[in-house]
C-alpha cells in the first residue's frame, strides 16, 4: 500500500513538465508533495525558476540539503575537513596516466537528503523498517534519456516514470511548456559539474558570467594540495572540471562554425557517421 507519493524535482525541463502536468491533472493521481535536493551550487536561474514553480503547484515543495558542495570542495583543501565526498572530476596523474574520480556527490547531496525527508514524511526513524512498496517516487526521465531509468535500490520505494508512460521526449516537454506559456527552465545541475558539455560551458560563459567566473575559480583551486584527500591513491595528481584536463578558463569552447568549418561536410555527411 502506497503511503507517500512524491515527485523528485530537479527544476529542469523534464521534472518541471512532470510537476505541471500533475498540477493540471494530466497525470495522476496527485502527488502528496515534491522534493528538491539542493546542492547549494545551482545557477541563480534555477532558484528563481523554483520559486516561480512553487506558486504553480497545488502540493508542497520541500527543499532539502546535505550542505553546499562548492563550500565542501574548497574546505577539503585543508586538514580541517572530515567530510570526504568525491566528485567525478577528470584526473591527470603524476605518472602521465589519466582517470576520473569516483562519483559520490549524487548519492550524498541528492539521494540521501531526499531519502531522509521521505522517512520524516512517513513519520519513521532512520533505522525503522518501512514496509515494501510504501513510497512511490516520480522521476522526470524522458524517452531520450531512458537509459537513466532504473529500479529503486530500496524495497520500500518504487520508481515511476510518467514521461516515459506518456512517450515524451525532451523536445516534447519543451513544446508542452511553450504551448501553455509556461517558463522554460534552464538545465538544472551544479555550476561546476564535470558532465557539462561544451555547449553548456559556452552558454554559462556567454550568458552567466558570474557562474562562469566561479566555476573557473573552483576549477583552479581543486588542483591545489588538499590535505588528507590529496594523499588518497585515486586523487594523487591534478583534478580538472573539463575532460581535456586543462584549466577551464583555457579550454577552447569554440564551435565548428566559429572555426570556419560549418560547411565542411554539408554535401557528404547524413549525420550518421558519429562525428
In terms of phi and psi (left: phi > 0; alpha: psi -120 to 50; beta: otherwise), the region of 98 is beta
Task: Specify which residues 92 forms β-bridges with.
Answer: 98, 238
> Residue 269: pLDDT above 90?
no
pLDDT tens for each residue of 206-251: 999 999 999 999 999 988 654 444 445 444 578 999 999 999 999 9
% the chain with pLDDT above 90: 73
pLDDT grade for 150, boundaries at 50, 70 and 90: very high
For the purposes of burial, counting CB atoms within 10 Å of the CB of 49, is it exposed (0-12), middle (13-18) or buried (19 or more)?
buried
Instruction: Find where cell 512511490 sits.
Output: 136
Q: What CA–CA distance (Å, rounded) separates 111 from 64?
A: 10
Cell of 62: 520541500
| pTM, 2 dp | 0.85
Residues 67 and 40: beta-carbon distance below 8 Å: yes
| Phi and psi angles of residue 33, each rounded to the nearest 5 degrees, phi first | -170, 175
Considering the segment(s) 4-247 as one domain, its CATH architecture is 3-Layer(aba) Sandwich (3.40)
Q: What CA–CA distance (Å, rounded) separates 66 from 17?
A: 26
Residues 67 and 41: beta-carbon distance below 8 Å: no
Sheet bearing 135-139, strands edge to edge: 61-64, 33-37, 4-8, 135-139, 157-160
Cis omega (within 30 of 0) for bond into 29 = yes
Instruction: Find where cell 538544472 sits.
Output: 188
**Averaged confidence pLDDT in the chain:** 87
Q: What's the confidence (pLDDT) of residue 56? A: 97
pLDDT tens for each residue of 163-219: 999 999 999 999 999 999 998 998 888 999 999 999 999 999 999 999 999 999 999
Q: What's the confidence (pLDDT) of residue 66? A: 94
Amino acid at each position: 500500500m502506497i503511503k507517500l507519493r512524491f515527485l523528485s524535482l530537479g527544476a529542469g525541463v523534464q521534472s518541471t513538465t512532470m510537476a505541471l502536468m500533475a498540477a493540471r491533472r494530466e497525470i495522476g493521481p496527485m502527488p502528496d508533495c515534491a522534493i528538491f535536493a539542493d546542492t547549494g551550487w545551482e545557477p541563480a536561474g534555477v532558484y528563481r525558476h523554483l520559486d516561480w514553480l512553487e506558486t504553480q503547484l497545488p502540493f508542497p515543495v520541500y527543499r532539502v540539503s546535505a550542505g553546499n558542495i562548492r563550500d565542501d570542495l574548497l574546505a577539503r583543501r585543508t586538514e580541517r575537513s572530515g567530510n570526504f565526498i568525491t566528485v567525478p572530476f577528470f584526473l591527470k596523474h603524476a605518472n602521465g596516466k589519466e582517470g576520473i574520480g569516483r562519483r559520490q556527490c549524487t548519492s550524498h547531496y541528492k539521494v540521501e537528503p531526499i531519502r531522509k525527508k521521505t522517512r520524516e514524511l512517513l513519520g519513521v526513524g532512520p533505522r525503522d523498517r518501512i514496509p515494501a512498496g510504501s513510497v512511490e517516487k516520480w522521476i522526470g526521465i524522458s524517452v531520450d534519456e531512458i537509459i537513466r531509468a532504473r529500479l529503486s535500490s530500496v524495497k520500500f520505494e518504487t520508481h515511476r516514470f510518467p514521461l516515459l508512460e506518456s512517450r515524451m521526449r525532451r523536445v516534447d516537454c519543451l513544446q508542452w511548456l511553450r504551448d501553455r506559456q509556461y517558463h522554460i527552465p534552464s538545465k538544472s545541475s551544479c555550476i561546476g559539474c564535470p558532465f557539462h558539455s561544451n555547449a553548456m560551458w559556452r552558454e554559462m560563459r556567454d550568458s552567466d558570467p558570474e557562474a562562469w567566473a566561479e566555476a573557473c575559480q573552483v576549477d583552479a583551486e581543486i588542483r591545489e594540495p588538499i590535505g588528507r584527500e590529496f594523499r588518497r591513491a585515486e586523487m594523487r595528481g591534478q583534478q580538472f572540471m573539463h575532460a581535456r584536463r586543462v584549466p577551464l578558463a583555457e579550454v577552447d569552447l569554440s564551435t565548428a562554425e566559429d572555426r570556419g568549418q560549418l560547411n565542411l561536410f554539408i554535401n557528404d555527411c547524413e549525420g550518421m557517421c558519429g562525428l
